[in-house]
Amino acid sequence: MKNFALPKMAISLPLAVLAAAILIFINEISFRESTAATANIEQAQQTRDSLNALMRHVLDAETGQRGYLLTGDERYLEPYNAATAEINPNLDVLRQLFAPYKDQMAEYASMSQHISSKMAEMDLSVRMRKEGNEDAWKFVLTTNVGQEHMEAIRKQAAALASSSSSRMVQGQEQIKKTLQLSRAGVAIMALAGLLAFYMYLLQTQALFRSGEREKESLQRERDQLDLQVRERTANLAELATHLQNVREDERGHLARELHDELGALLTAAKLDVARLKSRLAGSLPEATDRLTHLTNTLNSGIALKRRIVEDLRPSSLSHLGLVASLEILAREFEERSGLSITTDLENVELGGSAQLTVYRLVQESLTNIGKYAEASQAVVSLQNMGSYITVEVHDNGKGFDTASVGPTSHGLSGMRHRVEAAGGRLTVASTKGTGTQITAVLPKAPSSPS
């Protein structure tokens, strides 16, 4: 079957190429002739418009001149002056349009001469009327010189318009011929295309079955790859959740060790220093000052230990609740960073793991604001939304292009995974110069394990 299809393809391809070449040749000829014909039609139309405008201006000038001569009202001179100002530009345009045509150029020259004579006759009569020479302008008005010039102008303008109309008709006929030529070319191309298409169908039938077999094979491979990707993705998600839980467990263990062991050591040291200070009071002022400094240092160490313990595992979540923990987190971060942080927190019903997810989300968001945002204000909100709660952290910093965030942005990736593991959805909205808004929607009931 394939051996039979190859000769068909060897014939259909050159046939299609030949038909395409013929059609391109015909279309190129048609395009050039149509372009030339269209240019002639446009020029003829422009010529007719210019002739009509010229005749209108001449008639307006003559009307204004006669009105002024008969009434002496200078208001008639306004249309007269406006019309005479447009006549010479009209003549210049017509001169350029008739320049390629010798016969019409001669007719134009004669018409231009008559127009000049008519303009001189009107200008003379207007000047004599202004000068008060009644007999002279009346004599000019009663003669037939102006009428003879106008009749000659009309006759020559009509002849020139007729020749322009003839060029327009010729252009239309030329366009009609090119359309017929294109029509014939399209018909030939259609027949050749049908023949090539028939041969292509014969070839397609030969290749269809093999294509279907390849398609089925590719589909089986694709389904297998999709299954492997889903399994690997599920395994990675389970691994990431496990690592996250292990990390929280390690944080909790380290927080307990710091609180129990290091806290006890620092407290004992502080009590020993207090006893030494009470025994040496008044006897050794220098030693007392050093002990006071040591007490302050131990107090700073205890405060640092407390802050590290709270960062590792916020005890306020179990003792004070989520809202109070977020308030404490916001105030402490405000004191450390100098940002102005506003909170809008509602009491919500969440399990312990979900509360920790919300707390870590706000903690990571504030940390990112302090490191990268260059912001001066931030807003933290926690709202009830029926069976869901929403958490938003918004700043007025420099923002960033969310499309440029790559897979190496572990902070955002970690937040997204933590929220999605709790059955929620995280969105990040930011543009350069307008700040960043991180929004998480979490269900109140804990999500069932997948």
**pLDDT (tens digit, 9 = 90+) per residue, 126-159?**
888 777 777 667 776 666 666 777 777 888 788 7
Give the integer Cα–Cα distance in Å for 204 and 197. Answer: 10
**Helix ranges (DSSP H) in 313-394:** 316-319, 322-337, 352-368
Give the integer Cα–Cα distance in Å for 401 and 387. Answer: 32
Note the pLDDT tens digit of each residue in 195-229: 767 776 777 777 777 788 888 888 888 888 888 88
What would the mean pLDDT of 286-295 be, rounded to a whole number?
77
Cβ neighbours around 242 below 10 Å, total: 10
Structure tokens, 104: 């019409």
The pLDDT score that the predictor gives to residue 240 is 62
Give the integer Cα–Cα distance in Å for 445 and 358. Answer: 14
User: Helices 285-312 and 145-257 sit at what angle, rounded to 10 degrees?
Assistant: 110
Q: What is the DSSP string of 253-273?
A: HHHHHIIIIIHHHHHHHHHHH
The pLDDT score that the predictor gives to residue 282 is 65
Give the integer Cα–Cα distance in Å for 340 and 86. Answer: 73
Q: 3-class DSSP state for residue 438?
A: strand
Residues 6+ apart with CB under 8 A from 33: 174, 175, 177, 178
> Beta strands 425-430 and 340-345: pairing type?
unpaired
The pLDDT score that the predictor gives to residue 391 is 92
Q: Are 126 and 69 in contact (CB under 8 A)?
A: yes
Give the integer Cα–Cα distance in Å for 291 and 297. Answer: 10
Which regions of 52-154 does DSSP assign to beta strands (E)? none
Q: What angle do CA 343, 344, 347 make, to 5 degrees?
A: 120
Note the pLDDT tens digit of each residue in 160-176: 778 777 777 777 787 77
The pLDDT score that the predictor gives to residue 177 is 79
432: left (phi over 0), alpha (psi -120 to 50) or beta: beta
Burial class (CB in 10 A: 0-12, 13-18, 19+), 98: buried
Structure tokens, 263: 């806290």
> How far apart are the two ends of the chain, measured CA to CA in Å?
52
Q: Are 339 and 375 in contact (CB under 8 A)?
A: yes
Q: Binning pLDDT at 50, 70 and 90, where does residue 1 land?
A: very low
250 residue type, one letter = E
Which uninterrupted H or E stretch holds 395?
Answer: strand 388-395
Q: Binning pLDDT at 50, 70 and 90, where does residue 390 land?
A: very high
The pLDDT score that the predictor gives to residue 121 is 79
Q: What percent of the chain has pLDDT over 70?
A: 82
Residue with tokens 């394939």: 2
Structure tokens, 267: 């407290």
The pLDDT score that the predictor gives to residue 2 is 46
* Contacts made by residues 211-215, CB under 8 angstroms, sequence distance 24+: none
> Beta strands 377-385 and 340-345: pairing type?
parallel
Q: Report residue 151: phi and psi, to 5°.
A: -65, -40
Q: What angle do CA 268, 269, 273 make, to 5 degrees?
A: 120
The pLDDT score that the predictor gives to residue 381 is 92
Which residues are 428's β-sheet partners? 438
Residue with tokens 């909205």: 429
The pLDDT score that the predictor gives to residue 448 is 42
Number of Cα atoms under 13 Å in the Cβ half of residue 124: 15
Note the pLDDT tens digit of each residue in 33-78: 777 777 777 777 778 788 888 888 888 887 887 787 778 787 888 8
Q: Report residue 420: phi and psi, to 5°.
A: -65, -35
How far, in whole angstroms, is CA 277 from its chain's centroid? 72
